[in-house]
Amino acid sequence: MRDTLRWAYALNQWNVRLDVFVRHEDQQRALKTVSACGFDTIELASGTGRWDNISRPEVILANHGSHESFLNFLRRAKVRGVSSMFWDPQAPAEEEEGYAFRSTANPADSDAIVEWSKPFVDFLAGVGGEQLVVRPVGSAWMSPPLDADGIKVIGDVWNRIGELASAAGIGLALHYDCLGAVHTEAELTGLLQATDPATVGLALDTAEFTIGGIDPVGFYREHADRVTHVHLKDTRYADTGQEYRMPGAESTMLKGGAGRRIERWFYELGTEGGLVDVKGFVAALRERSFSGWVVVESDHGGNPAELAMLNSWYLQHELGVSKS
Amino acid sequence: MVWTKWSYMDHWVTETPQGPQPPSFNRAYMDRYVKQLSALGFTGFDTFFFYLHMLGGMYGSVPGFERFLQDNGFEKITGIFSAYPSATRYTAPHVRETHDRIVADCTNTLRMCEGLTGVENFIVMPTSTYHQTEPVTDDTIKVVADLWNRVGRLTLDHGMKTTCHFEFWGAIRTRPQLELFFEYTDPEYVYFFCDTAQHTIAGVDPIQLFRDYSDRCTGFHFKDTKNVDEHEAYRTPPDPELMAPQVTRWFYEMGEGGLVDFPALMKEIVTSGYDGWLTVEHDKAELGGGSYAEATAVAKWYIDNVLAEAEAEARRELEAAR
């Protein structure tokens, strides 16, 4: 995409289960799809184990031998590089002390989580990525509501990792999500205040914000100085009934197991009945000359190639972005 | 110069609440399908004759559908595909007594195309299945040729060229049969549509065939195959396309290790001076868990990166030879 904004595409929708998206030829097809849609830069998402060979830094390197070889693998499909990588330290991973189930909300886990971040920081620096995008805290249903002290504990961990990342020449962006224990606008603002603006930024995900009840356009305008990364996607629903508090909200809410039984929350740009003011949000980015990556995402959606093409169509036809 | 006349032949299947279906499942799905092709940069659209009524209903009229295409960056509907894959007592190209009915069907299809910007190709399968037509004699080919000469004259009156798309399982499939058919048909009325995979499966080199009949060629289906039919699968009743015991999937998108040398074909096309549409077709792409969407994106990537380079190379060679 040729534009004043820098556009990238997230690969996460291709890697929907542990045992898929493993063969290199499948990954090449996804990369070619993204390239044919006009994107030459991708965002990776962390995973675990031998099959997450385009997700987990150690496994990527085991597959390709070096950062440069991995970049050459991307270049075969005319993908130029990696903008960013998503990591959730709360997600179980065998590489992280063999599924230790730690949380940034627990002060006793801080040292270990800082240690766990190092492979990601090193990998991103090695492939020329710019942002480590992280889930700042686990799901709200798994712990009591956070007070100011609890938010400070979380902020402290990310300040330490932000320093590490900064020393390696990359940014750290906290990614708000609609299930997270940092949920309200006040809590999110509190987390930003608890972190160092010099080393810790915010990844603003338009759909997650909207589902969580925060207006992405208004929030961006107010906190543009802290927003260093963007995930652009749409949703048809807001969580108006506090479904995020349901036990097992990853399934009960986001997969429609209970509550309003909404089985799919995230949608491509331009979806019918979409709640995100995508044009307004992108206009706000342009007004402030946003210099970070705008990553188009289609996670938890449908056929990833279809969604990539529809997103590309929206950029070209509704946002006036030139494909080449 | 980069080739801009790339069209897409409508075979898609997409996931719907009622299972995998063509995008014509409903208007919203059809809109999304068109937008996806548009995002990749296709500017022509080919479809089947039996979809025209449905498209008319969905968009108010067939020209209404074409306007939707044009709103999304397409130039026009470029080809209409008409076929009688199974011979019946009403319609069988090798049975002269059914020709009046086939001509009447074609007239109806042409009527459905009225008001369109300018469909260029009226694409036909010249015969039904081999096993229903055999023995294929010179006279069989003559009867078939007579039919398409009639239809060719008719479609030309409506601005469309009748152009013959041969199947590996059709009654005209070998090089001698093809040559005889072209000899029996009038070059003014009957043209050649080169499906790269079908000819390769039938053991005919599509590049050489194009080289020999480039003056009659009005279009291509760019699709690949990984198998030549070495077991007379083409004779399998009732259907060799999905029921051949030795090969469960015949067709693949470009760039996936198939037998067709597309860069060589692209260079041949440029060298020949052909300036018509090039059409991407994916047929049965969902077999083995494939996705039409991904197959289409991967094929367009191949066009934008590999075939664009072949085209540029051919143009450089032409320039150097001047």
Q: Would you give the DSSP letter of residue A87?
A: E
Q: What is the pLDDT of residue B187?
A: 98
Above 80 in pLDDT, residue B1?
Answer: no
pLDDT for residue B112: 96
Distance to chain B for A312, nearest Cα, Å? 6
Residue % of chain B over a pLDDT of 70:
100
Q: CA of B306, closest CA in chain A: separation in Å?
A: 11
Looking at residue B290, its pLDDT comes to: 81
Beta bridge partners of A9: A42, A296
In the predicted structure, residue B79 carries a pLDDT above the cut 90: yes
Average pLDDT across each block of 10 residues of chain A; the chain has 324 residues. List them in order: 96 92 95 98 96 95 97 98 98 92 96 98 98 98 94 98 98 98 98 98 98 98 98 98 96 95 97 97 98 95 95 98 92
The pLDDT assigned to B289 comes to 78
Which class is domain B6-321?
A: alpha beta
Contact predicate A150/A140, CB 8 Å: no
Q: B289 contacts in A (CB within 8 Å)? A: none
Longest dimension (CA), chain B: 58
Write down the pLDDT at residue A161.
98
Q: According to the model, what pLDDT value does residue B51 have?
A: 95
pLDDT at B322 over 90: no
Distance CA(B180)–CA(A290), nearest Å, equals: 66
pLDDT of residue A299: 86
How far is the C-alpha of A46 from the C-alpha of A162, rounded, in Å? 18
Whether A56 contacts A44, CB under 8 Å: no
Band (pLDDT 50/70/90 cuts) for residue B287 is: confident
A35/B301 Cβ within 8 A: yes
The pLDDT assigned to B288 comes to 78
Cβ pair A44, A67 in contact under 8 A? no
Angstroms from A156 CA to nearest CA on chain B: 43
Is residue A260 helix, strand or coil? coil
**Which pLDDT does position B283 carry in this prediction?**
81
What pLDDT, on a 0 to 100 scale, did the predictor assign at position B286? Answer: 82
Token digits for B266? Answer: 């692209």
Task: Give A193-223 as a 3 state SS string.
Answer: HCCCCCCEEEEEEHHHHHHCCCCHHHHHHHH
pLDDT at position A125 is 98
Domains observed in chain A? 6-317 (3.20.20.150)
Give residue-wise pLDDT tens across range B208-237: 999 999 999 999 999 999 999 999 999 989
Please enumerate in sequence order all residues whose Cβ is within 8 A of that of A10, keeping only pairs 6 or more positions apart, or say none.
A42, A43, A45, A86, A231, A295, A296, A297, A298, A299
Buried b (16+ CB within 10 A) or exposed e, A216-232: bbebbeebbebbbbbbb
Q: Which residue of B has its CA nearest to A25?
A: B256
Query: Best interface-test mutation with B: which of A21, A79, A303, A306 has the largest number of B CBs within 10 A?
Result: A306
pLDDT of residue A220: 98
CA distance B31 to chain A (A): 10
pLDDT, averaged across chain B:
96
Among B16, B119, B13, CA closest to B65:
B119
Interface of A with B (CB under 8 A): 29-30, 32-33, 35-38, 77-78, 272, 302-306, 308-310, 312-313, 316-317, 323
Q: Which residue has the tokens 């706000």?
A: A284
- Classify strands B251-252 and B224-225 as parallel, antiparallel or unpaired: antiparallel
- Which residue numbers of B have CB closer than 8 Å to A's CBs? 14-15, 28, 32, 35-41, 72-73, 255, 291, 293-294, 296-298, 300-302, 304-305
What is the pLDDT averaged over residues B135-164? 98
**What is the mean pLDDT of the segment spanning B43-51?**
97
Mean pLDDT score, B316-321: 95
Contacts of B37 in chain A (CB under 8 A): 309
Percentages helix, strand, coil for chain A, rounded to the nearest 5?
Answer: 40, 15, 45
How far is Cα A318 from Cα B38, in angstroms, rounded to an integer?
A: 13
Q: Chain centroid to CA A158: how far?
A: 16
Choose, out of B38, B40, B292, the residue to mutate when testing the contact with A (most A CBs < 10 Å): B40
Cβ neighbours, 10 Å, residue A68: 11
Quote the tokens at residue A210: 């909207």
Question: Looking at this predicted complex, what is its ipTM?
Answer: 0.90
Contact at CB, B301 and A316, closer than 8 angstroms: no
